[in-house]
Structure 1
């Protein structure tokens, strides 16, 4: 089973410690700083307000921030010169810090921990830039990727950050890979690496059965095994939750592309797929932006049963279901999902017709489709 964080490490201490909780806490802090400097949450709120839906979204939940405080930064359109940042780092830690590709693990607490301490004491863009610049040299891959994602609009040398993100998309760690791909898609949507990540694999079948439920993958997950018939999560659902989960070789898939257009095409294709098989009324499980695909499909005329949204980025008003075409909507997610932070989406719905369930896990986007998480937290009872 994956190692999940049940208690984040807060403040500068996250940068002084090692281990999964420390690294994921570092990544969350960096991504949250980037959101503040870009003004992402204000933009989310403005879009919701324009549709008179301000109450339907919580970009960054206040209860999460109470447990995981972040320095407050004003949005800034000004880039911070890398030469200035490197000069300040060299004056403080010696010239080696800007020449090194990686800060040695034994020096990381003194460098990154001290920079984080300064940021918490003096909430200024240049202090954030110093922490981000130094974090690009972290020995931890997730920290480097999060720093690159957060720093892109602030740095005067952004192209090198794309290189870090591209490397991250090739990580063996799924969380690193997904955060990197999401950030890369936001920054450089036409990058050829993203096309490689949306290639399909040969469909598998887990045998015929009655069909009244369907599992839909998210962005960049088209080739992943967990959602396919015979895959880990598909098998768990079929064996323990929904014996009627669709398991034939012609299961539905969509491109997994990172754009509203790709999701709209996926939603229309889903409606057609269901209608061609006369499966109206299916209960639909969707992960990440796959959850937005299934919601969008109801707007395009699909009549569904229950919708189960797993780690769904909240983008209101663009993605909400037609509640008249579904019987129930349930959302299951973790605290401060790193991929949703990189996606610039909201962390939670605040809609009376969407039942939110937040697992006692922090940061990991894939936890919501982990069979062990479902067992340990009795997720089936939430449906």
Structure 2
């Protein structure tokens, strides 16, 4: 929770930096000159240093943005090094004068070590109001605090860091450029790729050096059973090594965190761990067992991560084909129906796109009265590969031609359904407004992207920050470069299905946004 106490309420609390280091205890607490009591508090740090055994100095730290995550412990949004380098007091004055207050605030406000993007005000808060109304994973719990938080919110934050660590271990650092602001807010540890290093050897070396009493094989097979307290301690130790690399074992600590995640009490952590480890280990039986169970999760996000991983790395076609749809002939349509929905991979996981669904009816009633709601609507198999999406794009082109639709008014596409729509534009289908819900964009050259955008009037994308399905897929969440016809709206964290909810559309007023974007489409579009 955000630290909000009277000044005397902080005295004696342990102070932990955001990079996980104990820096001292709160001594005296001051309110800077010119501000109301209780606002802009500054604390002295009583783990002082002796200089020449003559003078005792106290460091200082602002408490704005600090978090109390356990009783008696306070996390501040600054690195330990920055706290230790802060302006110092040689005695405890009755008040801080304006000049010294300014020195302190300047030190923390201007230093490159400051983390101004950290959203500490959203740490472990309830997820019931609109902005947190997305069903799962909406809270950004940063850094090592996530690994000591055993709640659903903490689990999603752990899974978010695990996919980021796995992404780096597999050598996809360039992908992080598109997610850098989110990575900083998560306090994602940075590590090098494994390259040719054996993941088992790297993890074995790390857990031996860090004193974690498990064997790699036992972790892989789930033959460990640490208590929550032990798990928190091991996770904290491994995370710190990932972050600081003090034992030169950051990569191995990252693999070990993933292995430890296989026995997490939280499903999302187990599934993300198995998905990332499939990229590293040849023995996959224990991992596929976790992912098969994930395909039956109540969470659509978890189901998609599980099925994607099984399709990508393991010969599990016989298991996952039940999540696809049988493709039918395009059929005939009513020409006036020129807006459609396009589902993503694994169509059986959701029904938002089907005629008569709650969201489809909401869209028809508010912003797209011409949305298809009759038999023979456009569908595709939902297979997890480029060939399936390319085949679907060709089917969409045929569908529009058969039904005499020259230009689609509005296309609502989820996840890899975005690529179906984009590929259809490459084949000549014209779309006035493309509404993307949690898009997972496949990489394309600038030339190809430009050809696609010539066939699309405007693009409106809705997505969450650090979408773990898109990251696990190593996809892009938006187009490279900037185009004034593309707008991206971010709400919440981690989830991959939130914007397929009618309730969220109503709370956000998304239909009004869609109607507004349609009015912005160039009247000359399409250019023949």
Compute the TM-score of the two structures, normalised by the length of structure 2. Answer: 0.63
Q: Secondary structure at the match of 1:233?
A: helix
Q: Work out whether 1:309 is the aligned partner of 2:436.
A: yes
Q: Report deviation, 1:248.
A: 0.6
1:136 counterpart residue number = 262
Q: Whole-Å Cα distance in 2 between the matches of residues 93 and 124 of structure 1?
A: 14
Unaligned 5+ residue runs, structure 1? 45-57, 203-207
Residues 270-309 of structure 1: pairs in structure 2 closer than 5 A: 270-282=396-408, 283-309=410-436
RMSD: 3.0
Q: Going by fraction, where is strand more abundant, 1 or 2?
A: 2
CA contact (8 A) 1:313 1:347 kept: yes
Does residue 85 (structure 1) correspond to residue 201 (structure 2)? The answer is no
Going from structure 1 to structure 2, the CA distance change for 1:147 and 1:378 (only over 3 Å counts) comes to: same
**Structure 1 CA distance for aligned equivalents of residues 509 and 182 of structure 2:** 22
- SS of residue in 2 equivalent to 1:76: coil
What does 1:318-337 align with in structure 2 at a 5 Å threshold?
Answer: 320=449, 322-337=452-467
Q: Mean Cα displacement is larger for which, 277-286 or 191-200?
A: 191-200
Classify the secondary structure of the residue corresponding to 1:327: strand
Report the CA distance shift for 1:105/1:3 in structure 2 as closer, same or farther (over 3 A): farther
Greater CA radius of gyration, 1 or 2? 2
How far apart, CA to CA, are the structure 1 residues paired with 2:428 and 2:380? 18
User: In the alignment, which of 347, 355, 361 is matched to residue 235 of structure 1?
Assistant: 361
Q: Which residue of 1 aligns with 2:171?
A: 39
Which of structures 1 and 2 has the larger relative contact order (alpha carbons within 8 angstroms, sep 6+)?
1
Q: State whether residues 329 and 353 of structure 1, in contact with CA within 8 Å, keep that contact through their aligned partners in structure 2.
A: no
CA–CA distance in 1 between the matches of 2:430 and 2:357?
A: 27
Distance 1:64 1:91 in 2: 29
1:377 corresponds to: 508
Structure 2 stretches of 5 or more lacking a match? 1-132, 329-333, 518-528
- 1:120 maps to which residue? 243
Q: Could you give the per-residue CA deviations for residues 252-287 of structure 1, whole angstroms, max 9, x where no partner exists?
A: 110100111000000000111111111221121110
- 1:126-146 deviation per Cα after TM superposition (whole angstroms, max 9, x unaligned): 111111111111011110111
Decide whether aligned partners of structure 1 residues 376 and 19 sit closer, same or farther in structure 2, where only a CA change above 3 A counts. farther
Partner of 1:111: 234
Matches within 5 A, 1:21-100: 21-42=153-174, 60-77=178-195, 78-81=197-200, 85=204, 88=207, 92-94=211-213, 98=219, 100=223
More helix by share: 1
Seen in structure 2, the aligned counterparts of structure 1 residues 102 and 373 have a Cα distance that, compared at 3 Å, is: farther
Q: 1:321-350 CA distances to partner (integer Å, 9 max, x unpaired)?
A: 622222212222110111101111123324
CA contact 1:331–1:354 (8 Å) conserved in 2: no
Deviates more, 1:83-92 or 1:373-382: 83-92
Task: State the Cα distance separating 1:107 from its structure 2 match.
Answer: 4.3
Q: Find the residue that maps to 1:331 and give its secondary structure.
A: strand
Structure 1: how far apart are the matches of 2:361 and 2:351?
11
Q: Deviations over 1:318-377 (max 9, x none)?
A: 684622222212222110111101111123324315523232211101012122222222
Could you tell me how far apart the structure 1 residues matched to 2:229 and 2:383 are?
Answer: 40
Match status 1:160 vs 2:286: yes
